[in-house]
Amino acid sequence: MKNLIIGNICPACGRRLKIVRLQCENCSTAIEGSFNVPSLARLNPEQQGFAEIFIKARGSIKEVEKELGISYPTVCKKLDEISKTLGYEVENVEKRRKEILEAVEKGKISAEEGANLLREL
């Protein structure tokens, strides 16, 4: 990831950058044109670093918590931010949890069904 663009925002005007030239490190062959920025290059440097740690931890939130010294909710928040940056819709887990508990409270679903749904979150 260290070879990725350090962001996709122009430091001069704040607009998006695009790739216009690719060059081989070995033979210097160059290709010019208009190329899409890889999706992971949309992440800012902090998000790229977090993603590297998450991958190194093989997706273990507990390992990420330990390595970064942050809480479970903070890890989840950072993952949500990365997902949004990459263009994915993020389900609000806390909102869903509240909806499940309210459904149990109102008798719309059983406590067992609610417990199963909460485990799936």
Any idea where the domains of the chain sit in the sequence? 19-85, 91-121
Q: Are 76 and 61 in contact (CB under 8 A)?
A: yes
Rounded Cα distance between 104 and 110, Å, is 6
Global confidence as pTM: 0.57
The first and second tokens of residue 83, run together, are: 């997902």
CATH, domain range 19-85: 1.10.10
> Which tens digits make up the pLDDT trace of 13-47?
888 788 889 899 999 999 999 887 788 888 888 99
> Which tens digits make up the pLDDT trace of 42-94?
888 899 999 999 999 999 989 999 999 998 888 988 998 999 888 888 777 77
The answer for residues whose C-beta is within 8 angstroms of residue 37's C-beta and 6 or more apart is: 5, 8, 16, 17, 18, 19
Enumerate long-range contacts of 42-48, CB under 8 Å, 24 or more apart: 42/8, 42/85, 42/86, 43/82, 43/85, 43/86, 44/7, 44/85, 45/6, 45/7, 47/78, 47/81, 47/82, 47/85, 48/1, 48/4
User: What is the model's pLDDT at position 93?
Assistant: 74
